[in-house]
């Protein structure tokens, strides 16, 4: 089941639980606008290269559309559509005044020089600048893009519309980026984990964790869990997987990585089979990397009591449907809430840019914690009201908020 089918299925299930009118349900599912553009650039060697860029703007009932731009060879319209729709529900779950959007260019960033990436970004911005904007659609970094990419978009957009720092988020600090943004998704994962564990009378301190993925999200989550007294017994990324039953020293591991080392060469842990990470003995499993990793085969031997979905769609939807994990008593905190810290702090950055007044990092972090804790309580209320699991609690919360906004605005007029 691909990501678009999975997201639409979750939406329809939430719509049934909420008893939405069939016409409204159909209206909420259809994207507001789909954009496909051709981006041709001269390569450094003088040859011409062409790429296809996408921007899907899903819904703007609750505010400007919001979502990342990814550079990846497998970017296609279905994937971008699914992620744009997911952003609509995600922003509603954490109650920030946005709708959903997503974009991307089908390219391999590793195969392009920095100057080629800049030219590609500027051409893409030229093609879509009339369709994005501070109060229309606000892009952000995603897979294969970063703060520098946002700086190029800001500069190119400003050539047409004047200085507009709030047109993108995830910018460099020197161009109006927010303090705390780099750590935001990982920090949000930790706040979400803490809220879930607190609901079961537990805390991060003293529990064991296994983390799949040691990029931005995984490394920040690992660092903050370690500092909160959690014991990370296994961690892995594309370079290898390591374990230490006594707990890995995350500060030393981060230092090792910063010096150019890879996980498998870290002396503070033993190498292990990457396939064993998801079924490793631990209290909490946090997939931070790829989608679809928890399939039927992997779910059955899972030993964790809690799964925190820091990646998008880490749980295979077909396997999720069979309720393998819930039958085992495993509690799954869904991606639509668990990884919403990034877009929440993007909202804070947007607010700061519009106000022209920047916050200190302590305020960013405390506001993020407040938003994540409030969202969890609201999800639990939906679970109680509708007798559903956390995934459907989050989806019904998000969908109901978008549906109410749509009805209030007069969708049939």
Q: Could you read off the pLDDT of 389-411 as tens digits, one per residue?
A: 999 999 999 999 999 999 999 97
Q: Answer whether residue 280 shows pLDDT above 60.
A: yes
- Alpha-carbon gap, residue 397 to 88, rounded angstroms: 12
Q: Answer whether residue 28 shows pLDDT above 60.
A: yes
User: If you count DSSP H runs as helices and E runs as strands, how many of each does the chain have, helices first?
Assistant: 15, 12
With 0.75 as the threshold, say if the pTM is over it: yes
- DSSP type of residue 205: T
Q: What is the DSSP string of 284-344?
A: EEEE-S-TT-B-HHHHTT---SEEE--SSS-B-HHHHHTTHHHHTT-EEE-HHHHTTHHHH
- Alpha-carbon gap, residue 170 to 178, rounded angstroms: 7
Query: How much is the pLDDT for 82?
Result: 86
Is 315 annotated in a binding site? The answer is no
Query: How much is the pLDDT for 215?
Result: 87
Say whether 26 is catalytic.
no
Identify the structural domains of the chain with CATH numbers, from first to last: 30-165 (3.40.50.10860), 182-338 (3.40.50.720)
Which one is catalytic: 102, 223, 231, 298? 102
Question: pLDDT grade, residue 297 (50/70/90)?
Answer: confident
Token representation of residue 331: 């509690």
Question: pLDDT grade, residue 211 (50/70/90)?
Answer: very high
Q: Answer whether residue 207 shows pLDDT above 60.
A: yes
Is 378 annotated in a binding site? The answer is no
Q: Answer whether residue 1 shows pLDDT above 70.
A: no
Is 26 annotated in a binding site? The answer is no
Is 267 annotated in a binding site? The answer is no
Is 346 annotated in a binding site? The answer is yes
């Amino acid at each position: 089941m691909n990501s678009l089918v999975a997201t639409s299925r979750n939406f329809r299930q939430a719509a049934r639980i909420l008893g939405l009118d069939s016409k409204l349900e159909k209206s909420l599912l259809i994207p507001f606008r789909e954009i496909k553009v051709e981006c041709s650039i001269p390569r450094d060697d003088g040859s011409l290269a062409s790429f296809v860029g996408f921007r899907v703007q899903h819904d703007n009932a609750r505010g400007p559309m919001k979502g990342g731009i990814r550079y990846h060879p497998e970017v296609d319209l279905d994937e971008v559509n699914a992620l744009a729709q997911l952003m609509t529900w995600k922003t509603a779950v954490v109650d920030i005044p946005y709708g959903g959007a997503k974009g991307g260019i089908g390219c391999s960033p590793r195969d392009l020089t920095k100057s080629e990436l800049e030219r590609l970004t500027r051409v893409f911005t030229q093609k879509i600048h009339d369709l994005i904007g501070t109060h229309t659609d606000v892009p952000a970094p995603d897979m294969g893009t970063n703060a520098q990419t946002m700086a190029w978009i800001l500069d190119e957009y400003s050539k047409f519309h004047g200085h507009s720092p709030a047109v993108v988020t995830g910018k460099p600090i020197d161009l109006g980026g927010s303090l705390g943004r780099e750590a935001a998704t990982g920090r949000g994962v930790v706040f979400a984990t803490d809220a879930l564990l607190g609901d079961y009378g537990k805390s991060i301190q003293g529990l064991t964790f296994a983390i799949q993925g040691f990029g931005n999200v995984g490394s920040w989550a690992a660092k903050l869990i370690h500092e909160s007294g959690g014991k990370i017994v296994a961690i892995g990324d594309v370079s290898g997987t390591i374990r230490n039953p006594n707990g890995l020293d995350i500060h030393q591991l981060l230092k090792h990585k910063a010096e150019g080392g890879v996980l498998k060469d870290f002396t503070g842990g033993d190498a292990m089979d990457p396939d064993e990470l998801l079924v490793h003995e631990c209290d909490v499993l946090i997939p931070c990397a790829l989608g679809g990793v928890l399939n039927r085969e992997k779910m059955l031997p899972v030993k964790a009591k809690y799964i925190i979905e820091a990646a998008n769609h880490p749980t295979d939807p077909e396997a999720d449907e069979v309720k393998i994990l819930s039958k085992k008593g495993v509690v799954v905190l869904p991606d639509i809430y668990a990884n919403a810290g990034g877009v929440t702090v993007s909202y804070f950055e947007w607010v700061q840019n519009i106000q022209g007044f920047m916050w200190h990092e302590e305020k960013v972090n405390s506001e993020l914690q407040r938003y994540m804790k409030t969202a969890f309580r609201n999800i639990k209320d939906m679970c109680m009201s509708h007798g559903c699991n956390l995934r459907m609690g989050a989806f019904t919360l998000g969908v109901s908020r978008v549906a109410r906004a749509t009805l209030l605005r007069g969708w049939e007029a």
